């Protein structure tokens, strides 16, 4: 490095490399090779002698974040599919001959679209739009359920199948009080 070149206060130099302490636990290394246009920025973790280029750090951080988001999406899907109102609605679908005839067998139950505004679950109410398909047709299984208080049993309010062509097949409508209780979650 040129002795006339400005030095950063608190920085140390080794050969053609200027080490500048940064905020946090990172140290910024400035490598000068030939001209100022060839300035290369890399980060060093404290206690490490190997530098990791910034591009690699961004890439691997992005991959880790993407993997974390995909895992979270999968876990949310699993949570919905284990809910008692979800399971009971699918039982009604599998035991309804008209719905099975319209869709065909075997039935495929697909993941919920979490961005769909119809899908809504809170402490007392649940509304789901479950995508289903078969060899003959496809559609959505609409589920409406509620409960009186937290940690009480879920009560199905309505379950119906809407096919792609617009036909609606009612699968469940409560006929009396407490005839549709579900197990506590």
pLDDT in tens, 108-156: 999 888 888 999 999 999 999 999 999 999 999 999 999 988 888 888 9
Domain ranges across the chain:
12-77, 83-172
Residue range 24-51: mean pLDDT, rounded = 54
Q: Is 107 exposed, middle or buried (0-12, 13-18, 19+ CB in 10 A)?
A: middle
Angle, CA of 70, 73 and 79, to the nearest 5°: 140
Where does the pLDDT of residue 169 fall: very low under 50, low under 70, confident under 90, or very high at 90 and above?
Answer: very high
Residue range 169-180: mean pLDDT, rounded = 69
d(CA 11, CA 45): 16
Where does the pLDDT of residue 34 fall: very low under 50, low under 70, confident under 90, or very high at 90 and above?
Answer: low
31, 34, 39, 42 alpha-carbon torsion, rounded to 10°: -30
State the fold for domain 83-172. Answer: Nuclear Transport Factor 2; Chain: A, (3.10.450)
């Amino acid at each position: 490095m040129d002795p006339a070149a400005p030095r950063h206060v608190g920085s140390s130099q080794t050969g053609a490399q200027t080490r500048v302490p940064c905020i946090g636990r990172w140290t910024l290394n400035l490598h000068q090779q030939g001209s100022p246009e060839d300035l290369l920025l890399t980060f060093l973790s404290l206690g490490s002698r190997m530098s990791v280029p910034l591009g690699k750090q961004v890439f691997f951080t992005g991959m880790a974040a993407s993997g974390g988001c995909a895992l979270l999406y999968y876990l949310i899907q699993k949570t919905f599919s284990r809910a008692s109102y979800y399971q009971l609605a699918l039982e009604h679908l599998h035991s309804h001959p008209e719905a099975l005839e319209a869709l065909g067998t075997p039935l495929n139950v697909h993941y919920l679209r979490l961005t769909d505004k119809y899908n809504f679950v809170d402490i007392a109410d649940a509304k789901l739009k479950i995508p289903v398909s078969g060899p003959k047709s496809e559609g959505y299984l609409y589920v409406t359920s509620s409960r009186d208080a937290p940690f009480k049993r879920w009560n199905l309010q309505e379950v119906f199948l809407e096919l792609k062509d617009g036909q609606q097949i009612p699968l469940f409508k409560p006929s009396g009080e407490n005839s549709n209780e579900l197990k506590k979650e």
